[in-house]
Amino acid sequence: MKLKTLTIALVAILFTGLTSYGQTVNEVVDNYFKAIGGRDKVKSIKTMKITGKFFMGPMEIPVESSVKKPNKVYSTATAQGMTQRMGFDGKDAWQFSPFMGDTVPHKMPEENSRDMKDQADIEGPLMDYKEKGSTVELIGKEDIEGTPAYKIKILKKSGDLEYYFIDAESFLLVKSVSKKSFQGKEVESETVYSDYRDVDGMKMAFSNESRQVGEEAGQKFIIDKVEVNVDMNDEMFLLPTK
Average pLDDT of the residues in 37-60: 93
Characterize 177-213 residue by residue with b for buried, 16 or more Cβ atoms within 10 angstroms of its Cβ, and e for exposed: bbebeeeeeeeebbbbbeebeebeebebbbebbbeee
Could you read off the pLDDT of 107-142 as tens digits, one per residue? 988 777 778 888 899 999 999 999 999 999 999 999
Could you read off the pLDDT of 201-230 as tens digits, one per residue? 999 999 999 987 767 768 899 999 999 999
Q: Is the peptide bond before 98 cis (omega within 30 degrees of 0)?
A: no
Confidence of residue 41 (pLDDT cuts 50, 70, 90): very high
- Cα(193)–Cα(24) distance, rounded to whole angstroms? 23
Candidates 103, 132, 137, 128; CA nearest to 117 is: 132
CATH number of 24-74+110-231: 2.50.20.10
Residue ranges covered by each domain of the chain = 24-74+110-231
Count of beta carbons in the 10 Å neighbourhood of residue 139: 13
pTM score: 0.85
